[in-house]
Amino acid sequence: MPTAEIAPRVEMPMIGLGTWSLKDPYHSVRTALDVGYRHIDTAEQYGNEDLIGRAIADSGLPREDVFITTKILSRDVDRVDDIISASLAALRTDYVDLWLIHDPPPPGLSERLWGSLIRLREAGFARAIGVSEYGTSQIDAIIASSGVTPAVNQVRWAPALFDPVRLRDTTARGIRLEGFSGLRLADLDDLALVAPAQRRGVTPAQILLRWHIDHGVVAIPRTDSDRRIEENLDVWGFELDEDERRAIDALSTVRVAARACGPGCSLVGRVGTVVAPTGVPTGPGEIAVEGQLPLIAWSSELIAVGSIARIVGCRSSRSVDVVPEPRTDAEAQP
């Protein structure tokens, strides 16, 4: 299977199995390993590390042949050693291949948690370390504090969320983007996926996963179906041409609002919700927003899609539209 080098001598398979909320994690992981997967993604929060560890052990595969990712929640910043010890024991291994910060902590705590991951990587408990759902300036902050760049940023990634600026900025920093929830968040009946699938005799889901690969994005589809587990791995016999990739890219609902309210703007909801900027230069500025602000995703030059109705005012610049974004549930194929 093709891999991406995410750190010196650390190769990450480009397709892995996501395991959040699987009905039978042991069975699904055993099935995946039997059909050729060598990359399993889990997290302490999932509550399935023990079953996954048992499935990997029972597969008979050498430990070094299976790439294992797990994650730590930001709320556990003061329990790092306990969490990694518990994860390693449950997974029946002395190390993981990739350990991620599961969610961005508040400023200050992020740098402290990142320092703990660096320490445990240096102690041999993780071959590589990274983050999940970090904005570009959040990444820059932990790099500035430590001199260590994350190997991976794991984010929601689907045609509707295609963000070329985020992809560019991540790649420019030497970080591999890894996408989750791609199949759950995609319209698999869209002609941009159906047409190339019909031309090749494959499924729209396979086209979508190939789209990830062709952009250099690692994919970790999650499904309870044995058939789809095998199908999702069978994406190496074809590539998308440039027109097909562009047609899928064009499904993006990300609307660029570069420097929308000038340096350092913050979003202020009419209901009093404040979202601190993570991808805008420092300085004064404010945007007033209609509606709720449960989540805003940022990258270095734009405000990405978020659950807000419209940016209606800004002290230092023009108003812009922002398109609603799907929720952050686990990916699930029917």
Q: Catalytic amino acids?
A: 46
- Produce one character per residue of 256-278: b if its CB has 16 or more CB atoms within 10 Å, e if not: ebebbbbeebebbbeeeeebebb
8 A C-beta contact, residue 153 and residue 178? yes
3-state secondary structure 262-328: CCCCEEEECCCCEECCCCCCCCCCEEEEECCCCCEEEECCEEEEECCCEEEEECCCCCCCCCCCCCC
Q: By three-state DSSP, how is residue 81 classified?
A: helix
What is the identity of the amino acid at 63? R
Residue bearing tokens 């689907």: 158
Counting every residue, how long is the chain? 334
8 A C-beta contact, residue 31 and residue 56? no
β-strand partners of 274: 268
Query: Where do the H-state alpha helices sit in the chain?
Result: 25-35, 49-59, 80-91, 109-122, 136-146, 164-172, 191-200, 204-214, 226-233, 242-249
Return d(Cα 38, Cα 20) in angstroms, integer. 17
Return d(Cα 20, Cα 333) in angstroms, integer. 12
For residue 160, give Cα distances in angstroms to 51, 102, 132, 233, 254: 33, 22, 19, 22, 7
Query: Max CA-CA distance within the chain?
Result: 62
